[in-house]
Structure 1
Amino acid sequence: VKQHFASIDEETAAIVKEPGNVLHYYARALDFYLVQDFDNALKDLDEAIRCDSTFFPAYFSRALIYYKQLEYRKRDRKFEVETVEEQNLQVRSYDYNKVREDLDRVIELAPDFVYAYYNRGNILAVMKDYRAALVDYNKAIELDPRFADAYYNRGLTNIFLGNNRQGIQDLSKAGELGIFSAYNIIKRFTTIEEK
């Protein structure tokens, strides 16, 4: 942690010397992220994007950090006192759209960046747009045929949609590629008939 705080100080000094250098903002944002100062990380990523609107790693990192914040809000919601207004705690699809917009921009700037498709597929699945999620998982697998997590999530999505045969094939491939927990899911769904 001390190393990250020292790096934050170094990058801050570098930003003072070169305020238009996107890499200094990006590096400091990553350090802020690693010490879990998400607000400052997001501010630096916004500034990096302002400096260079074609720097796709800033969009990708901003999407990941914002997603992590949303997940924390969802998790913490269970522990909140019930007197707080429900609408203030609710994680809405609008919030996920912000993550999706950043991932859309990454794909526009770097169309071969496999993790953008994979993560957008995950966001689409959270938003319950399962068919669009399948399209992104397909693209991730097309770009990297050994992407075990993409097979795994595509398999789960197919099973959720009732395409058990395709889902089991994907889970089997995920298991072959090292996600051994996929085999437990296969056992559960091999007895369920295809819809």
Structure 2
Amino acid sequence: MGQGIGYCLIRYLKKYQWAASYYTLLLKMAPASSTMYINRSWAWLGARKFELAIKDCNQALALNGNMSMSYVNRSAALLGLKRYHEALQDANYAILLKGKGVAYYNRGMALMHLGEFERALLDFDRAIKQRPNLLDQYYVRAACSTKLKYYQAAIEDYTRLIKFDPRAWNAYHNRGIAYLSLNNIEQGLADLVACCQGDPKNIDHLLVLEWYQFCIDPQVTAERIEYFEHLALLVSEKVPGFHLHAGILYLLQGQYEAALNKFELYIDQGQFFSESGYFWSGMACAASGRYPEAHRMIDHALQQGLPPFFLNALALLNNEKHTAFIAQYRLK
């Protein structure tokens, strides 16, 4: 019954600190319980206190080295700390100990962040086979497919997510990008509009739709600059897209060095889909006449999976001196 209370606090009420305190009380009564340490580590994971989760997993392993969930939870904590090689090792141990689908999920996440997308995809397939109703697995498998340029597979996973939850606005967003990657412009636009209408406070949705508009109508106008200034009111510095948004605003205002600094900050955050940052960095470099750097940035963005459609935004560089540079990308 005690474990049932803790489970409810974590699983249903999301009261992670309460659950951790509850398991702390139980551990005072049963200090040699590896299960209680594992349960408390689960609470720490929910609270994003990864170091504490690792400490509890270590204690559980000291008491019983054959419990797969100790390795599963520790690998999850290591993922949270971006220590991917260590997370991979723990996930491997969990799988050897007959860990469940979550062990494959964790290993897939570690592999994906280490750039081993094909291997990660296989693990996500295994995880989904064991636990087909956990939606996060479809997101990461679709993200992995996108990195491999398996766009139709990504679309199918995002469509599954939307069927599970018609309000899965991030799935609409990502599916729209996948459609654009297949040059299905009409369906891509429909999905981008849907996510903006459904989740109008999400800056990432609004930015991508505006980027689309730049591709259709590549003009820098006072109205567009004013719109980006308005968007600034919606963005917190804690939001991953903050620096990307600020950089685009600086670029539109002609402040190219300031824009480049912001794009570099966005890239340095380690965003999984960092190709947007590289593209706009290339834009800022090209606008400054630094064409070799611009080529490297934009080519890297394409290698990382930037849909070629978005290259049409290069037409924003409407000064004649940029014509030869832009022509190399064969805008349509």
Higher RCO (C-alpha 8 Å, min separation 6): 1
The match for 1:187 is 213
Q: Is contact 1:175–1:181 with CA below 8 Å preserved after alignment?
A: no
1:141 aligns with 2:186: no
RMSD between aligned residues = 2.2
Q: Is contact 2:105–2:137 with CA below 8 Å preserved after alignment?
A: yes
CA distance in structure 1 between the partners assigned to 2:131 and 2:79 by the alignment: 23
SS state of the match for residue 120, structure 1?
helix
1:62 aligns with 2:104: no
The match for 1:151 is 172
**Number of matched pairs:** 165
Unmatched segments (≥5 aa) in structure 2: 1-48, 200-204, 218-308, 310-332
| Letter paired with 1:60 | Y
| More displaced stretch, 103-112 vs 122-131 | 122-131
| Letter paired with 1:158 | Y
**Alpha-carbon shift at residue 122 of structure 1 (Å):** 1.7
Q: Is contact 1:175–1:182 with CA below 8 Å preserved after alignment?
A: no
Q: Is contact 1:22–1:49 with CA below 8 Å preserved after alignment?
A: yes
Unmatched segments (≥5 aa) in structure 1: 71-94
- Tell me: CA distance 1:7–1:154, structure 2 relative to 1, closer, same or farther (3 Å): closer
CA distance in structure 2 between the partners assigned to 1:129 and 1:7 by the alignment: 35
Pick aligned residue for 1:170 from 191, 200, 209: 191
CA distance in structure 1 between the partners assigned to 2:156 and 2:50 by the alignment: 38
**1:101-140 alpha-carbon deviations (Å, 9 max, x no partner):** 0110111011122222222122112212222221111112
SS state of the match for residue 180, structure 1?
helix
| Letter paired with 1:113 | L
Q: Is contact 1:134–1:154 with CA below 8 Å preserved after alignment?
A: yes
- Tell me: CA distance 1:103–1:188, structure 2 relative to 1, closer, same or farther (3 Å): same
Taking only the aligned residue pairs, the percentage that are identical comes to: 25
Please identify the structure whose Cα radius of gyration is greater.
2
CA distance in structure 1 between the partners assigned to 2:216 and 2:197 by the alignment: 17
The match for 2:72 is 26
| TM-score, normalising length: structure 2 | 0.46
- Tell me: CA distance 1:39–1:143, structure 2 relative to 1, closer, same or farther (3 Å): same
| Letter paired with 1:152 | H
CA distance in structure 1 between the partners assigned to 2:96 and 2:164 by the alignment: 30
The match for 2:182 is 161
CA distance in structure 2 between the partners assigned to 1:154 and 1:4 by the alignment: 32
1:42-61 alignment runs, 5 A limit: 42-53=88-99, 55-61=100-106
| Letter paired with 1:58 | A
- Tell me: CA distance 1:187–1:164, structure 2 relative to 1, closer, same or farther (3 Å): same
**Alpha-carbon shift at residue 162 of structure 1 (Å):** 2.0
| More displaced stretch, 6-15 vs 153-162 | 6-15
| More displaced stretch, 12-21 vs 165-174 | 12-21
The match for 1:17 is 63
